Amino acid sequence: MIKKAWFQLSVTILSIILIFFVMVPIVKLVFGSSPELLVNTAKEKEVYSTILLTFKASLAATLLSLILGIPLAYFLARADFSAKVIIEGIINLPVIIPHTAAGIALLTVYGNNFFLGKFFNLFGISFVGRFAGIVVAMMFVGIPFLLNDTLEGFKSIDPRLEKVSRSLGASPAQTFFKIALPLNSSHIISGSLMMWAIGLSEFGAVVIMAYHPMTAPVLIYERFASFGLKYSRPIAAIMVIASLIIFIILRLVNNRIGMFQRDREESL
């Protein structure tokens, strides 16, 4: 009895410590500035245009990754070949390398003097110090989160559902769009949200590809480095509040789809 109480007490205390660890700095950040200061900061053109740019770049990175990532995840979930493990490992590389190193790596490929940079220059697209560079950096660091969730979702769909679809006359493409994709919607949305969030907070890779135009994390850093905590804190607080509001809304939407998905998994 005493042993059981000790265990429950330890679990509770450790959990509370962790929740405080995450919550306290965020609460302190949000409530550390007066509402007037937050409103005035949000009204600054540089601040709101930077936040808007950050959201737009992350959204663009996520949408591009969806177009490229869903087919790859589907292929990896269904195909059976020996190099599959290697490909899955490569996909996860951006998670383990320092993001500044990722930025340098991207610069050596998409920089104006490097091969992909030169190639895209032919079409009038350049990356260094451009919106496209921010998108590429966000894609690079965020795509593992989208891919892993999507891959997991496709793996959880019984291949026999697709076999039945084929036997009923559906082509591979029809089977993908009418069976696999709708059944994986919850995982895809969840992975997309995660990737979008990673994009919003990305600093290391973005700052190397494009110091300007500034994303919110870069602006926060610049204000901190140039003017100190007092001037960087309100922007950071606004970014946290804006992200929280959007994420809560999207999570609510996703939870509705998730409820359907869980029911489906239970029924299988």
Q: Are 205 and 157 in contact (CB under 8 A)?
A: no
Q: Which of 170, 240, 241, 250 binds other proteins (CB under 8 A)?
A: 170
Least distance in angstroms from the C-beta of 82 to other proteins: 12
Q: Which two tokens stand for residue 202?
A: 């990305």
DSSP 8-state code for residue 114: S
Q: Which stretch binds other proteins (CB under 8 A): 40-48, 145-153, 189-197, 258-266?
A: 258-266
Q: Which stretch binds other proteins (CB under 8 A): 64-72, 157-165, 214-222, 245-253?
A: 157-165
- B/e letters for 120-131, b = 16+ CB within 10 Å, e = fewer, are beeeeebbbebe
Helices of type H across 92-228? 93-96, 99-110, 115-121, 131-156, 159-167, 172-175, 181-183, 185-201, 204-209, 216-227
Q: Which of 33, 54, 65, 165 binds other proteins (CB under 8 A)?
A: 165
Decide: is 28 part of the binding site for other proteins (CB under 8 A): no
Decide: is 263 part of the binding site for other proteins (CB under 8 A): yes
Cβ partners under 8 Å of residue 141, min gap 6: 94, 99, 102, 198, 199, 202, 204, 205
Q: For other proteins, which is the closer residue by CB, 84 or 166?
A: 166
Q: For other proteins, which is the closer residue by CB, 179 or 209?
A: 179
Q: For other proteins, which is the closer residue by CB, 28 or 166?
A: 166
Q: For other proteins, which is the closer residue by CB, 17 or 83?
A: 83
Q: Which of 122, 168, 225, 252 binds other proteins (CB under 8 A)?
A: 168
Decide: is 268 part of the binding site for other proteins (CB under 8 A): yes
Q: How far apart are CA 155 and CA 208, in angstroms?
A: 36
| Contact positions vs other proteins (CB under 8 A) | 158, 160-161, 163-171, 174, 178-179, 182-183, 260, 263-264, 266-268
